Structure 1
């Protein structure tokens, strides 16, 4: 039993939740800031146009803003969920001398882990594929660059500020994949706790039924 009455597996789970919380905030902030640099337009799956006369870059095609809102919303929901669990378990550890989790709630936790991992996977694929599509248009239309990251150093037409668009989308994607890795670890920790609970219930069941089904000893 550790500090505040939390078992070490629950404490490890809370540490992983804290990592997911940080990743969710970074992912949501990166997408939102990048969207703000392009006047609220979502540049995922977009196209970049190069003006040969003024040597400015501009966004020729953009996606629906709801696409970026979806990616940000998923990350924010994950962050809120993790923060709520951290607060709940810290409160439970302070109030109760011993914290125990039932099999039903562990099953619910496993279900939530699977659901959030699926949503994060969809979100990560959207950012990855959308960014690659944008980068392909930049490499095809801008003659003076050799990589998508070089487009950040080009001059963008007002009101766009694209000096960090690649870094922002890359940071968001990386945070999503790290968060998925943390959720895999959380799922493993919850499964270990579930096995412990099932094992304890089995031991109690055998101990309760043993007096009724014990065979009488033979008399020699």
Structure 2
């Protein structure tokens, strides 16, 4: 059974949001692991015998929060996509009740809020870390150049900027996609109380669709 094009576009966006959520969660988790479990958002560094070491770091729960929000969004998108694929493949028709569209709009608002908060945390936290790196490490003009410097073991800072930048980019792309999803749901909600694909069965005859009572008398 073919899906309405608005719903199909919405499902494609859900798939994209799922990928963005996985990218954010994995990038933040790997970055945290590279710093021996420390969350370097809003962190600072210092020089220790010509090697860069951690001076201060944020609570690990901050990175856990960023990862958890991304995972929750990814799980929701994955589950909803599987549901509509199942409905399209095994049900005779695709219907979308108005109440479920209202619930989807509610989730969209919640996810947009938390993605906005997460994006700001990643942006400001990375900038604070980069300010510390630029003030501490000499002979560099950009934060990403510190990736090629020597870091004090067991810290591995070879990809710290790239991973945090990828996580931030994925969050803002995710935020943008959810704005589009909210608009699509509003359009579908405006078109009617439910969206239904599949027309009337052409094999039915007019007599089968007549009311059971008050049929016209036969001559």
TM normalised by structure 2 equals 0.87
- Other-structure match for 1:61: 56
CA distance in 1, matches of 2:8, 2:94: 11
CA distance in 2, matches of 1:103, 1:146: 54
- Other-structure match for 2:166: 171
Change (3 A) 1:199 1:112: closer
Following TM superposition, the consecutive aligned residue runs of length 4 or more in structure 1 with deviations greater than 2 angstroms are: none
Report matched runs for 1:200-215 at 5 Å: none
CA distance in 2, matches of 1:50, 1:135: 14
Shifted more, 34-43 versus 5-14: the winner is: 5-14
- Other-structure match for 1:217: none
Mapped contact 2:98–2:194 kept (Cα < 8 A): no
* Alignment size in residue pairs: 195
CA distance in 1, matches of 2:193, 2:100: 13
- Other-structure match for 2:37: 40
Shifted more, 68-77 versus 5-14: the winner is: 5-14
- Other-structure match for 2:16: 19
Q: CA deviation at 1:7?
A: 1.3
Mapped contact 1:6–1:98 kept (Cα < 8 A): no
Structure 1 gap ranges (5+): 201-220
Cα deviation per residue 1:148-180 (whole Å; 9 max; x = unaligned)?
111111000000000100000000000000001
CA distance in 2, matches of 1:94, 1:81: 20
- Please, which of 145, 148, 158 is the counterpart of residue 153 of structure 1? 148
Bigger proportion of residues as helix: 1
Change (3 A) 1:42 1:130: same
Cα deviation per residue 1:114-161 (whole Å; 9 max; x = unaligned)?
100101110111011000000000111111211111111100000000
Secondary structure of 2:180's aligned partner: helix
- Other-structure match for 1:218: none
- Please, which of 189, 194, 198 is the counterpart of residue 194 of structure 1? 189
Mapped contact 1:39–1:159 kept (Cα < 8 A): yes
CA distance in 1, matches of 2:142, 2:131: 9
CA distance in 2, matches of 1:199, 1:47: 53
Structure 2 gap ranges (5+): 196-219
- Please, which of 90, 93, 108 is the counterpart of residue 95 of structure 1? 90
Mapped contact 2:39–2:58 kept (Cα < 8 A): yes
TM normalised by structure 1 equals 0.86
CA distance in 2, matches of 1:127, 1:13: 27
CA distance in 1, matches of 2:72, 2:103: 17
Q: CA deviation at 1:6?
A: 1.6
CA distance in 2, matches of 1:64, 1:72: 14
